[in-house]
Structure 1
């Protein structure tokens, strides 16, 4: 018996990993490269709570979610997911916990967050 319900894998995501810029003045200017494209996943937002925090005087609002997909042994916590369900780059999600195995490697579950600054966007 599988640990994942096929119907819950309703979003297409892209998996990316960071590549550091190793030039002398390249600190903080790395890029993201494709690991895997067109991966079916289930994305479930975590229920609202006090998800705002103050970081260096800037209010940051996080949007935590749980992501489930078929088992992938190569996932690491420094990767990120990009929701491409609608054919364009959408929500970008940083892995913050996991991966955890579901069942006997039937699937993988991870906790992710995407960020936005809180406040008036006008």
Structure 2
């Protein structure tokens, strides 16, 4: 099976944009669409997670996502997969000769964010 046959999930990739509020001088963050692509999404199973870096915990529902090579894809972006908002915690790593990219993502937590 080639990569194209495994890309069965629609993934929206968003980039963070920070602007300055002219009235108050505070920063306002918003997300804009970077790309809508097909991807392969696989949740990381507990048995496999034990072999990964200690910073990845199963409570955060990590997943591995593969997409076709996408220039400009960066670790400070986020993914929307179905109803899940996912933050990139590892990658993007290039596979082959610009054939695909792989990311490790986990459910986004607003814990610690300002209201």
* TM-score normalised by L of structure 2: 0.75
Q: How does 1:28-43 map to 2 (within 5 A)?
A: 29-37=28-36, 39-43=37-41
Flag the structure with higher helix content. Answer: 2
Partners of 1:115 and 1:79 in 2: how far apart? 11
Q: In the TM superposition, what is the alpha-carbon distance from 1:116 to its structure 2 partner?
A: 5.8
Higher relative contact order (CA 8 A, sep 6+): 1
Please list, as runs of the form range in 1=range in 2, the aligned pairs for 1:1-122 lying within 5 A after superposition: 4-23=2-21, 24-26=25-27, 29-37=28-36, 39-48=37-46, 51=57, 61-84=59-82, 90-115=83-108
* 1:96 and 1:113 in contact (8 A); partners too: yes
Report runs of 4+ in structure 1 exceeding 3 Å deviation: none
Q: Distance in 2 between matches of 1:65 and 1:34?
A: 21
CA drift of 1:7 comes to 2.1
CA RMSD, aligned part only? Answer: 2.3
* TM-score (normalizing by structure 1): 0.71
> 1:64 touches 1:111 (CA, 8 Å); kept in 2?
yes
SS in 1 for 2:73: coil
Matched length: 99
Where structure 2 has 5 or more consecutive residues not aligned to the other structure, the ranges are 50-55, 111-115
